[in-house]
Structures are given as C-alpha cells and as structure tokens.
Amino acid sequence: MTTISVTSLKKFANNKFLVFSCILFLIIALSAVTAYSISARQINLSFIEQQLSIASETIRLRLATSVDSELALVSKMADTPVIRQYFINPCNPVLKSRADDEFTLYKEHFNNKILYWVNDVDKIFYSTGNAPYVVNPDDPENYWYNLTLYETEKFIFNINYNPDLGQIYLWVNVPVFVKTETGKRPIGLIGTGINLTDFSDFVVSSYHKFDENITTYMFNKYNEITSAVDYTLVENKVRLEEHLGETGKELIRVARELPGGESRNFIYDKKMYLVNSIPAMEWYMTVSYPVPGLLSLNQAMNTVFFSMLALILLLFIIINAFVSNSENAMTNQNLQLLEANKKAEFASRAKSDFLAKMSHEIRTPMNAITGMAELLLRGELSCEARGYARDIKQAGNNLVSIINDILDLSKIEAGKLEIVPVKYMLSSLINDTVNIIRMRLREKPIRFFTNIDGNIPNSLIGDEVRIRQILLNLLSNAVKYTEKGHIGLTITIDKRDDKQIVLRMDVADTGKGIKPEHQANLFDEFVRVDMKKNQGIEGTGLGLPITKRLCAAMDGKLSMKSEYGTGSVFTVIIPQGIESKEPFAVVEEPERKKVLVYEGRVVYAKSICWTLENLAVPHAVVTNQEDFVATLYRAEWFYVFSGYGLYEKIKPLMNQDDSIFRGGKKPHLALMVEWGTEAYIPNVRFVSIPIQSLSIANTLNGKADRRDYFESSGVIRHTFPHARLLIVDDIATNLKVGEGLLSPYNTKVDTCLSGAEAIELVKRNKYDLIFMDHMMPEMDGIEATAVIRAWEKEFACQQIPIIALTANAVVGMREMFIENGFNDFLSKPIDVSKLDEILNCWIPAEKRANNNEQITTNKENKGQDKPSLPAIPHVDTAKGIAMLGGKSDTYRKVLSMFCKDIDERLPQLQIMPETNTLPAFIIQVHSLKSVSASIGAQELSSNAAGLEAAGKAADMVFIREHLPGFTVQLAELEENIRTVLSGSV
C-alpha cells in the first residue's frame, strides 16, 4: 500500500511538473510578446510623433510664410508714396486716381489677392471676385464682422468671419502713418487677407491622415483661441485654458517657453501634444493626438519592468501554488497514511486494552485454581490425585505467567507503560536480583558469578523496577536455557559524565545457544526457537520482546551474541541518572591488602580476580593445594579467600603460629560459600557466592556483613542504668531479640509494635535512644521519625537520637537514613559490637556506669547453653544464641516469640499477594528475613530474602512458585521450635 502511494505521489508530482513547465513557457512567451508589442507600439508612436511633427512644422511654416509675405506686401504698399499722398489728401481726385492705379497694379501683380485700404474716406474692403463690401457696422448682412483684432508693434491682425461664405479670414494690416511735429499719426491702413478656412482644412487634412481624433488649436499671446475646427471658439474669443482646463494651462505653459519658431512634443494626460509658435503673429499652435495608454519611453520601460515584475510575482505565486498543491497532495496522502496509522494504532491499542482487561479477568480465577490445587496438595490425597493436583498447579502457574507477560506487553503496546525514574541503590537492586537467581539455580549444577564494577555510583536514578525486570528476564532465560557450565552477570560503565552513567550489563551463559537463523526474529512476540531442543522448558516467547521494549522505553538497547551449542551473551546498554557520585564499592588502601585466592572452580576464581583487579587490590590465584602451600608463606597476605570445600585442607596451614607467616602475622581467612550453606567457624569470615565486589570491599575494609558474631561480641564496656530506651518493630520476635541484646546493659527498655504507638510513647516518656525499624506496615520508620522530629521542634528542647533498624544493609543506606532525620543505623541481625558502639556513642555520658565486673558475652556460656537446647532442624541455635550475646534463656524467649509471630503471620502469607497487597507482602517477608536470621534459621532467612526481592520486582511467577514452599517451611519450623521448647523446658 505504501509503495502504491509513493508511486502515485510521484506520478502526480510529475504531471504537475509538466503543467508547471507549460505555464512557465506561456508566461515567458506572453512576456516576450508583451515586450515586443510595447516596443512596436513605441516605435509606431515615435513614427506618428515624427510625422505629426513634420505636419505641424509644415503648417506652421506655411502660415508663418504666408503671414510674412503678406506683411511684406502690405508694408511695401503702405510705403508707396502715391498711396501715402492720397491718404494724406483723400479728397483729392487726382491723387485718388493715381493711388487706385497703383493699387490695381498690385492686385494684378498678386493674382487678384484681397487687398484693401481704409482711410478717412474709403472705408471699404475688397474681396477677390466678389463685390466690395463696405465696412458698415450698421449693415450686418454684408459685414465681415470683426472676430478679433490683434496688434503688434508694426501690424494689426484681425480675423473676420463671413457666415454667408462660411469663410474665415485672417487680415494682416499695416497702418499708414504721417509724420507730425510730435511724432507720427495713423491716417489709414492697408491690408490683405489669408483665407484661414482653407488653411484650417489643410491643417485638419494634414493631421487626419494619421488619426481622425487629432485636434488642433491656435491661440494668441492672450491665450485666446485663434483657430479651431469649432469656429464659435474663435468667434467668442474663448481662452484656451477655459476650453481645455488644466491641459490648456499646460499647453500655454509649454508654449511660453518656446523661443521663436521652435516646436516641442510632450505627453500629457494620455495624449501626445505638439506645440509650436508663429512668432510674426505671436501665435501658438497646438496639436493633440489622443493615444489611450500612450506612454513615454521611460514609462514604456517602467511598464515593461513592472510587467516583468508582475510576471515574476505571478510565477512565484504559481510555483507556490504548485508546491503547496504538491504539498497538499502529499499532505493528503500523509493524512491518509496518518489516518490509516491512527486506525491501526487504535486497533492495536484496542487489542492491547482487550488483552489487558482479559488478562486481569483471567488472573483472578487462576489464582483460585492454583490456590485450590495448593490446598489439595496439602491434604491427604491418593497418589493419582496428587499427580493431578500437581499438574493443575503447574499448568495454572504457567498460565498465570503467560498472562502476566501478555499484560506487560499489552501495557507497553497500549503506551500505558510508564517509566518512573526514582532514586535507588544499585547494591540493593543487585542483591535482590542475585537472591532470586540463586534460588532458581538451586537445582542446577551451574556456577553463577557477578562482576560488578565498583566504580559505578551506588545511588542512581532510574526505573528500578523495570531495570530489575530486565535483569531478571535475561538471567531467568540464562537459567532456563543452560544445563551446565556457568552464568555470569557483568555490570560495567560504558560511558559516564557528571549527571549520567551509561551502564553495560552483560548476561552470559554456557547454555544451548541460538542458531544464527533464529537470532533475527528472537525479539518478535511469541517467538520461541529451537523447540525440539527446548522441549519441556516453559515459556511464552514474550520475555525478550518485553525486555527489548523496556530497554527502548528507557533509551537503552538490548543486543545479543550467541553461538549455537556454546552459549549466549545478552547485552543491555542503558543510561541512568547519577544521584550521588559515591562509588558502589571501594577498598581503603588497597595496595596494602594483598589477597591470595585459592579456588579450584575456575569460574569463581576468575570472577574474584576480576573483582580484585577492579578494586585495585594486589592478588594471586592458586588452584591446587601444592601451589597454595607454596604461595601462602612466600608473601605477606592480608586475606586468603578460599572455597568453603577447601577449608579442611587449608585449616592446618592457617592454624599455624603467626610467626611462620611473612610479616609475623597470619592472614585473615574468608571462605566462599554457596548461597544458603552459610556456616559458622570462629575467626573466619563467610562470603556468599556469587562473590560481589561490595562483599569483598566490606571484608577487606573490615566492615559489616561480618558473620563472626562470637568474636565481635566481646566486652561490654559500660552499662546504662539511668537510661531509657525504646525499640520499635512490627515483629514481636525482633523486639524480644532487641530486649535480649540490651539486657546486659542494665537499662530500661520499652517496646512497641508500630510507628503510631512509638509517637505516643515519645510524647509521654523521656527516652535517651530509640531503635526504629525501617519497614513497618501502615506507618514506616521514616514516617514515624518525621512525625517525632516535627513534634520535637515544637515541644521538646532537644532531639532524641533515633537509630534505624534495617535488614537492607546496603551501601548508601546510612546517608539515606541520616537525610530522613535518623542519627545512625544498625543492620539486622544486630551485630552486638555495633550495638555496643551505638549505645556508647548516643547515650549521654552521665547515664553511663562503668562495668567493673566486665560482663562478657561469654564464650563459656556458649558451651553451656548449647547442650541445654536440643538441635532444631534448619536452625543454627549456636549462632542464634551467639547473636543474643550468648544468652540461651533470652534465646528461648526469642524462639517462643518467634513461634507466636509465625502463628500470626502465616495465614496472611498463605494468600498469594495481588498487586495492591504486594507492598504489605514485601514488608512481611522482609521482617521474616531478619527475624529468622536472628534465631539462626539462615535458610529460611535466605528464602525470605528471595521472596522479598521477587516482591520488589513484582515477579509474581517466582512468588507463586516459592511462596507455598516457604509457608510450609515456616510452619514446619514453628512446629519444630515448639516441640523443642516444650521438651526442653
């Protein structure tokens, strides 16, 4: 569909281009024609102008010449002595006769031209071929009435019109003067006439051969019209400006500027005018040639220029129209595509919404089904029925896991997946992830290692839950598709700046691997590959697509390299914000802490070396006893890290006297134990596999997560008989543990089970120190502390030191608690020496008493107590007693309180948590993690840790799988403890 659209789009654009080219061509042709016609017209006009000029010049010359010759004639006659004498004596008949003869002679000579004289006696005119007209004003019939009379210095002009003849004459008169003593006196005049009617006809015919519309006027120096086609104008002595208005004024203005005999052309008001002068008469002649749209050359140029401009503009508009048309067409196409896209998206969202709703609806009855199956399995069943019940439970669990994945995917597709960046501790995230994976790996002979770059800041900002999900998906796949060998989680820094770090997380396995032909579509939904080989492995084919989409949603990416039969590496590169730059794990003075690693399991040896290298700790690795012996005494070692299984072999060597060792001091020993197999050996530190950089750093720095309780619980320096302490914990067992641990201090201890109660107690009593549990239902320790701090501000004069109790003892916690108003923190299970430190630090000196007797958390007691309590399966009672400062009676109390606690909590734990009850569930298992560690039930504690981590990762499949077993384990433990307690009392 897309290809068709693109082709039609191109076709459309091509057609448009053709149309556009044609239009362009037409425009160019049109402009050329316009330009040509304008120039042709201009040439034509110039030609007319020239012709008119010639015509008017001819006319002007003809008139001027006629006037001049007439003037010359009459002047000559006026100077004739015979005529002059007669004029002086008009009554003398002899003189009159002689003058007549002379006059006739002239007339004959000039071809009977009109010639006349006027004197005091003869007031007559003569006209050629006509009877003479008497100038008699009383007889208008025969009167060549005077139209106008003009005088120059020497001549008198007048124009007369004879309506009978329909002729107009210009009379040219010369006065005849007689000299007197005072000057000269006019005694008559001699005149001749020019037929202006003929002349006008000539003028008109001269012009009209160019154009009928040519008009011509003559006017005198008074601006009176002296010649026009319309004689009434002449007759009424109409002034040119009266007749032509502004044009007349313009003509007069131009005419006045003309020196004698010159002519000028000009354009005025769309007409071409030609003006010239006849100096002898001080007349002017104008000719106008109306040309609509007549332009001067300049104007013509302007016209051409503006036309071109207009054309360019037009072109621009057309191009724009074309482009926008194409764009419109494209937009239309795009809109259609968008519309289609929208519809597809809508359909997809509808599908996702439907899936989300259905998944949710299906999950509820599925819970009931698996729950019922679980109940069935707990009861008495025949072998066959048990098999069926197990199948129902298994199938139910699978179905729920599929539904959960679908729910996730549909959420992502429906755009409902929100990435919620929060501040989180990387150490905590890794701890939780490792806990879950370790639990999943229990039944497989697979070595699991983690290589975490200690330089990564511990406090990060990102969507912790989703990162956890990504890691768990990849690690769970590694567990699923690997039968033997190892699985490794490596987290390093890809890039970093001040605010952001790009983490690279590699999950490598030595599993089945993926065939090259399957790798391409591995991230597509519901794709499961190599089904023959993977038969029996549960899955939906949704894990990787979800992981890929989650990565993308967080601006990260997921890639994969795999070799069929050898293994796979899945790599996530993802940016996270840096909350605080403090690194994840640092060894203080690493160069002074040389480590000897004795580990036959190459994978673990390599991993621990990677970590030591990363922490800049000098180290050597040996893989067999011979090398170990050789190396142990050869150099001065700060620590020996060895596999737990090798302990028996190295014990004799390590137990040697200090003096045998280099530097005169034997190195410390740390044993690497598989998860859940933690044991107690005096003076030996246990580090859980997978070894984490943080554990190594803590070990080498001599910090927490020490398990050598006996050693650390040395001497109590002071008692606090005058102090009053409060312990807040939602688990009664923990309160008992606390009370037990504090009993040697001879101090008053109050306890309560909730934050709200604690606040009430603080208001009522004066405490010197409060131990506040972090995670509690309803109001947690942080909230309760905030309320107490607020109350203190108003009502108390000083702050009570509040110590946080937490089972989440990871790096960065201390800072978090201090930020939230706490003074310090104590990790659970409580380390007695740390407790002693805290009491001495925070309880005011005046409330102390010196402990002269030196109450010891006796090692001897340990020996006495141990037999007094028969062994409880899965409980290291010795460790439990040790953790209570060696007091077996306190331990008993704690154990019975533990049973009570379990009694209360078990019913709640037997219900599978829902999304809304998950937070409460996390708090429950979190509490159980610490409380079971306190009594020495390490396995139960680890299982609780696994469930807590799964809860945080909202990994319902894991919880569904492991919770029933956990509750059974819990119930069994309670049973066992009760049996032992009742028997031994």
CA–CA gap between residue 852 and residue 859 (Å, rounded): 19
Helix (H, G, I), strand (E, B) or coil at 565: coil
Greatest Cα-to-Cα distance within the chain, rounded to the nearest angstrom: 198
Residue 257 or 483: the one with the smaller Cβ distance to ligand ADP is 483
Which range binds ligand ADP by CB under 6 A, 89-97, 154-162, 254-262, 537-545? 537-545
Nearest to 774 by CA among 929, 917, 939: 929
Candidates 250, 509, 678, 768: give the one binding ligand ADP (CB under 6 A).
509
Residue 530 or 708: the one with the smaller Cβ distance to ligand ADP is 530
The answer to the question of residue 444 lying near ligand ADP (CB under 6 A) is no
- Structure-token pair, residue 640: 């020996």
- Structure-token pair, residue 675: 């998860």
Which range binds ligand ADP by CB under 6 A, 47-55, 223-231, 522-530, 683-691? 522-530
Helix (H, G, I), strand (E, B) or coil at 226: strand
Candidates 469, 477, 607, 938: give the one binding ligand ADP (CB under 6 A).
477
Residue 242 or 525: the one with the smaller Cβ distance to ligand ADP is 525
Candidates 511, 812, 829, 951: give the one binding ligand ADP (CB under 6 A).
511
The answer to the question of residue 479 lying near ligand ADP (CB under 6 A) is no
Candidates 98, 123, 528, 606: give the one binding ligand ADP (CB under 6 A).
528
Which range binds ligand ADP by CB under 6 A, 155-163, 451-459, 523-531, 753-761? 523-531
Residue 496 or 528: the one with the smaller Cβ distance to ligand ADP is 528
Terminal alpha carbon distance of the chain? 85
Asked if 501 and 493 touch (Cβ cutoff 8 Å), the reply is yes
Nearest to 824 by CA among 816, 814, 832, 834: 814
Which range binds ligand ADP by CB under 6 A, 177-185, 506-514, 630-638, 939-947? 506-514
Q: How far is the CB of 481 from ligand ADP (least distance, A)?
A: 3
The answer to the question of residue 404 lying near ligand ADP (CB under 6 A) is no
- Structure-token pair, residue 565: 């039969």
The helix or strand, by DSSP H or E, that contains position 618, with its residue range, turns out to be none
Helix (H, G, I), strand (E, B) or coil at 267: strand
Which range binds ligand ADP by CB under 6 A, 478-486, 700-708, 713-721, 750-758? 478-486
Q: How far is CA 89 from the centre of its chain?
A: 121
Q: How far is the CB of 609 from ligand ADP (least distance, A)?
A: 25
Q: How far is the CB of 534 from ligand ADP (least distance, A)?
A: 5
Helix (H, G, I), strand (E, B) or coil at 834: helix
Neighbours of 65 (CB within 10 A): 12
Bridge partners of 362? Answer: none
The answer to the question of residue 399 lying near ligand ADP (CB under 6 A) is no
CA–CA gap between residue 76 and residue 84 (Å, rounded): 11
The answer to the question of residue 540 lying near ligand ADP (CB under 6 A) is yes
Torsion of the alpha carbons at 71, 75, 78 and 82, rounded to the nearest 10: -120
Bridge partners of 275? Answer: 264, 286
CA–CA gap between residue 611 and residue 784 (Å, rounded): 40
Candidates 194, 522, 670, 953: give the one binding ligand ADP (CB under 6 A).
522
Residue 520 or 985: the one with the smaller Cβ distance to ligand ADP is 520
Near ligand ADP in 557-596, by CB under 6 A: 568
The answer to the question of residue 471 lying near ligand ADP (CB under 6 A) is no
Candidates 544, 554, 694, 816: give the one binding ligand ADP (CB under 6 A).
544
Candidates 196, 228, 478, 742: give the one binding ligand ADP (CB under 6 A).
478
- Structure-token pair, residue 728: 């807040």
Asked if 711 and 832 touch (Cβ cutoff 8 Å), the reply is no
Which range binds ligand ADP by CB under 6 A, 206-214, 525-533, 680-688, 733-741? 525-533
Near ligand ADP in 162-221, by CB under 6 A: none
- Structure-token pair, residue 440: 């999943």
Residue 457 or 511: the one with the smaller Cβ distance to ligand ADP is 511
The answer to the question of residue 958 lying near ligand ADP (CB under 6 A) is no
The answer to the question of residue 529 lying near ligand ADP (CB under 6 A) is yes
Residue 566 or 854: the one with the smaller Cβ distance to ligand ADP is 566
Which range binds ligand ADP by CB under 6 A, 120-128, 442-450, 520-528, 858-866? 520-528
SS (HEC) of 841-858: HHCCHHHCEECCCCCECC
- 668-674 and 639-643 beta bridge pairing: parallel
Phi, psi at 127, each rounded to 5°: -125, 145
Residue 291 or 479: the one with the smaller Cβ distance to ligand ADP is 479
Q: How far is the CB of 519 from ligand ADP (least distance, A)?
A: 9
- Structure-token pair, residue 380: 């008495």
Residue 233 or 950: the one with the smaller Cβ distance to ligand ADP is 950
CA–CA gap between residue 198 and residue 59 (Å, rounded): 12
- 684-689 and 668-674 beta bridge pairing: parallel
Candidates 539, 590, 885, 964: give the one binding ligand ADP (CB under 6 A).
539
Where do contacts with ligand ADP occur on this chain (CB under 6 A)?
477-478, 480-481, 509, 511-514, 522, 527-530, 534, 539-544, 568
